[in-house]
Structure 1
């Protein structure tokens, strides 16, 4: 009885170790002709005729648009949907736009070998069915492609929640390694499996600094909530919310964020100063007993709020309006303003949006 208990405990511990975050290197390599990698991507379910996907040789949206369910002329290359889960025409552009926005609106984290600055990159893979290994098998092993063998006979039992999580992790990590969309661990893969109604977020080393295990767990749990609450349409809403959350999380502390916080601090100080100035003028005698102090405070408030510059502009416009060359000066000011705004827009995009 004692030996039986110890054996059961060891097997259970091994299984829990596999499904709670250990890397794929902890699985024994497969041996024998039955487990040789044959370049497979999917197999067909004999009963339903559906494709059952493996991450081995899974199509890439960067080089195999047709197999990813995308038009050949498509330029959006961060979504692979071979089973056409996004069946509504409006859903695909929405997800494409969110993925493109993440690349443009997150921090530059490294420079690749071609000298191009890279931000965080997120790609999405959507599948109906997933290959399920038998995690309880005493012969469990990992072949040269990274797929676990042997397959589970689902007519006998279904995989547990923990096994599903591990299967999704292996699949997502496999795709991330296969697609290789980042140069410094700045890549994130979002995998959705309709069979499990689950989503898994796999992140590279750099992205993991922002996407902590707790944050990833929150993202995945929130996605499940959308599925449970909104049914079929909840998938699109959940995916949209997840991608927006990823964009916010991966932004980090950018120059734009620092500038925004600095502006808010300045506005806060200016509000206090303005309030003090207005309140101080209510007294007949100021605390400094000097009437000129109000002129100093008034000048400071006008300069800091931009009112002084508006007054100067009005005075200059009034001055040149009486000049014989007024039309020329107005045209020159408009051209200079256009050039300045265009240059400011270009520089801001180069600095903050990394284009």
Structure 2
């Protein structure tokens, strides 16, 4: 009897120790993180959707199965419900048998617990830079949009960091200020680790923004090119005018140059002589007056 009690006691203590001992944390890099459309996509979810594509990757199982399914359904609805912003409709083809054959904007979620870092106490700026770099690399790896029509929502649970990373075309529909306002709106969910609610709200807000019209903005690259061309044209005109003026003024006939020079020398010689004669005449008149 004592033996059974002893065994049960050991089992109870071992089980208790297992529960209170933290599990090993995976520190992800932008390369080791699963590819939502690649061979490692099965790591993104414990339960994969049957009739739709996967738009969310949660390898650390931060969300429960219900939350992940609901968020994925919202992301699929966004992809189907937004217009194709590409020049060719073929660029909006999903290329998969699951779900709708066409989509507009593709918003995907990458959520993880922690990232591999060499800094022990990173500043807020360093965290932001790291998260943005991770999102940028992931956007290139996943390549979900053919014309810059993709958006990645990156969630860094350990530091409660969320980044909305739009591709080139999508950035015209969801600007920096709009992204800041959106994240501010769901910040209370983020701070309380309510990631399911935060992502549902972000998905709804992005659906509204990406359905609207793009914001008119001047392309800085095009503007710089126009300025450079304008300056080059102005310099060309100025140099041409200077050359023409030099040639027109410098190519006078030799005889005209000689005549001009002779006139100047004659004037310079004549002026002192006339001045001396006039001075002599004035002196003579003064002497006559006083005699």
Alpha-carbon deviation of 1:226? 2.0
Structure 1 gaps of 5+ residues are 1-46, 133-150, 255-355
Instruction: Report the Cα distance in structure 1 between the residues aligned to 2:158 and 2:58, rounded to whole angstroms.
Output: 14
Change (3 A) 1:115 1:220: closer
Pair member with larger Rg: 2
Residue in 1 that maps onto 2:208: 248
CA contact (8 A) 2:92 2:104 kept: no
Residue in 2 that maps onto 1:180: 143
Instruction: Report the Cα distance in structure 2 between the residues aligned to 1:65 and 1:119, rounded to whole angstroms.
Output: 22
Alpha-carbon deviation of 1:71? 3.7
Change (3 A) 1:114 1:106: closer
Instruction: Report the Cα distance in structure 1 between the residues aligned to 2:173 and 2:142, rounded to whole angstroms.
Output: 21
Alpha-carbon deviation of 1:97? 0.9
Instruction: Describe the superposition over 1:11-63 as per-residue Cα deviations: whole angstroms up to 9, x where unpaired.
Output: xxxxxxxxxxxxxxxxxxxxxxxxxxxxxxxxxxxx96210011014211222
CA contact (8 A) 1:70 1:80 kept: no
Residue in 2 that maps onto 1:239: 199
Instruction: Report the Cα distance in structure 2 between the residues aligned to 1:215 and 1:53, rounded to whole angstroms.
Output: 29
Residue in 1 that maps onto 2:164: 201
Q: Are 2:59 and 1:99 aligned?
A: no
CA contact (8 A) 1:112 1:118 kept: no
For residue 76 of structure 1, the aligned residue among 28, 45, 53 is: 53
Q: Secondary structure of the residue that 1:221 maps to in structure 2?
A: helix
Change (3 A) 1:161 1:115: closer
Residue in 2 that maps onto 1:166: 129
Runs ≥4 residues deviating over 6 A: none
Q: Are 2:37 and 1:62 aligned?
A: yes
Instruction: Report the Cα distance in structure 2 between the residues aligned to 1:107 and 1:115, rounded to whole angstroms.
Output: 9
Instruction: Report the Cα distance in structure 2 between the residues aligned to 1:210 and 1:115, rounded to whole angstroms.
Output: 17
Q: Secondary structure of the residue that 1:175 maps to in structure 2?
A: helix
Instruction: Report the Cα distance in structure 1 between the residues aligned to 2:24 and 2:69, rounded to whole angstroms.
Output: 29
Higher helix share: 2
CA contact (8 A) 2:91 2:147 kept: no
CA contact (8 A) 1:67 1:82 kept: yes
The two structures, once aligned, show a CA RMSD in angstroms of 2.2
Q: Secondary structure of the residue that 2:43 maps to in structure 1?
A: coil
Instruction: Describe the superposition over 1:255-302 as per-residue Cα deviations: whole angstroms up to 9, x where unpaired.
Output: xxxxxxxxxxxxxxxxxxxxxxxxxxxxxxxxxxxxxxxxxxxxxxxx
Q: Secondary structure of the residue that 1:239 maps to in structure 2?
A: helix
CA contact (8 A) 1:123 1:188 kept: yes
Structure 2 gaps of 5+ residues are 1-21, 94-101, 215-291
Residue in 2 that maps onto 1:123: 108
Comparing 55-64 with 183-192, which one deviates more in the overlay?
A: 55-64
Residue in 1 that maps onto 2:257: none
The TM-score, its normalising length taken from structure 1, stands at 0.48
The TM-score, its normalising length taken from structure 2, stands at 0.58
Change (3 A) 1:48 1:180: same
